[in-house]
Chain A
Amino acid sequence: MQQELNTGASDWPKEIYDILASYDVVQVPYVPDGGHAELIKRIHADPKMRPVSLTTEEEGIALAAGAWLGGQRSALLMQSSGVGNCVNMMSLIKACRFPLLTLVTMRGEWGEFNPWQVPMGSKTQQAFEMMDIHVLRAETAEMVGDTVRAAARMAFEGGTAVAVLLSQRLIGAKVFVK
């Protein structure tokens, strides 16, 4: 069903997992996405991490705030289409100056077959920036580690709200076959 059109050969999901572990991230709220599937599997396999499956992405923003109030680090995983769902909830992050680390797999920007993904995918970065969430972007597999590490450092050591966009070119466009 899902073929890889990407060129990245490195195991970037493992790299992300290692960085989250090294930063003592515990709570990992997520709405599943194909691009995050391997990372989600690794998080479920780690007894020190707490995956939290959500019904909608905005729950994850609120959960991240609660985790931080209780002294625990979190990373929110979602797909670009979910970012729009979070917009008002990001008021919580801004009004209370909570740190945030969210890792977003992109749809609707590179070889996208499904036009319904394009409206939100093409405005994902703006949606974050509208709510003053700092955006970093990884275009290639080689960029993932450095970018996620930089974001984690800004979030957990600097108290900044940061989103990392993992490009569709990196993830690989989903190919629908009849």
Chain B
Amino acid sequence: MTTSTPLDRRAVVARILQDRKDLVAISSLGSATYDLAAAGDHPRNFYLWGAMGGAADIGLGLAIAQPNLPVLVLMGDGEALMGMGAFATIAQQMPKNLSIVILDNGLYGETGAQASHTANATDLAAVAAACGIPETTVIEDEASLAQIAQRINATGEGPAVFVIRIDGAEQPRCLPSRDGVMLKARLRQELGFESM
């Protein structure tokens, strides 16, 4: 089933977002934000440049507020490790429209490629499952990405966590706007609310 060559993060993100329609995507600071931007800017993208450990909870709040919209949180393994409690909180709330995609390379890529806890010990899919997330999958092959793409655009199947093994290669940075006020206003207006 697996080809066991770690996947290219940019290709993964571009593939899973290629058929997006009403999906709202939140990305954690660092590479996940660059990956989301590299797949194409979109008014339904909300890029984080800080607030590490908070990405999944931002997605949860949004998913509860907008139960008919598919909400994706794209994050690295470092972000997931810092906010592990969010898995337990999400499992209490069971939003049917929330998916979390963890791009796991076992590295803190932004700060000098130090090894993260997932490099040799921690299994984030198992952590999420043990916290009560009903659907957790580890993906190591390109063939599974089409299914993930379909899944993140669907609502009504309950929260899911997908851990995608990617290679540790450093990609050219693709920097979206750092203007948090603009990003907030843009997404709110896109969803039909006033900018503030």
Contact = CB atoms under 8 A, between A and B. Distances in A.
B184 interface: yes
A55 interface: yes
B65 A27 contact: yes
Contact of A70 (B65, B93, B181): B65
B53 A69 contact: no
Contacts of A70: 61-66, 69, 191
A175 interface: no
Contact of A91 (B50, B55, B64, B184): B50
A69 B89 contact: no
A63 B58 contact: yes
Interface string A39-71: 000000000001011111011111111111111
A14 interface: no
Interface in B69-94: 69, 83, 85-86, 88-89, 92-93
A interface residue count range (under 10 / 10 to 19 / 20 to 34 / 35 or more): 20 to 34
A74 interface: yes
A62 B83 CA distance: 11
A52 B58 contact: no
A89 B55 CA distance: 10
B183 interface: yes
B193 A71 contact: yes
B interface residue count range (under 10 / 10 to 19 / 20 to 34 / 35 or more): 35 or more
B54 A69 contact: no
A27 B95 CA distance: 13
Interface in B137-196: 180-181, 183-184, 187-188, 191-193, 196
Nearest to A70: B65
A67 B188 CA distance: 11
B34 interface: no
Contact of A92 (B50, B59, B191, B196): B50
Contacts of B46: 69
A59 B184 contact: no
Contacts of A72: 61, 64-65
B51 interface: yes
Contact of B50 (A56, A64, A67, A95): A95
A1 interface: no
B61 A65 contact: yes
Contact of A66 (B49, B65, B92): B65
A56 B56 CA distance: 13
20 contacts: A26-B65, A50-B64, A52-B60, A53-B92, A58-B53, A58-B54, A62-B57, A63-B57, A64-B61, A67-B62, A69-B184, A70-B69, A88-B51, A89-B53, A91-B50, A92-B54, A95-B51, A96-B180, A96-B184, A99-B196
Pairs A-B, 8 closest by C-beta atoms: A66-B61, A70-B65, A55-B85, A62-B54, A96-B180, A62-B57, A72-B65, A67-B61
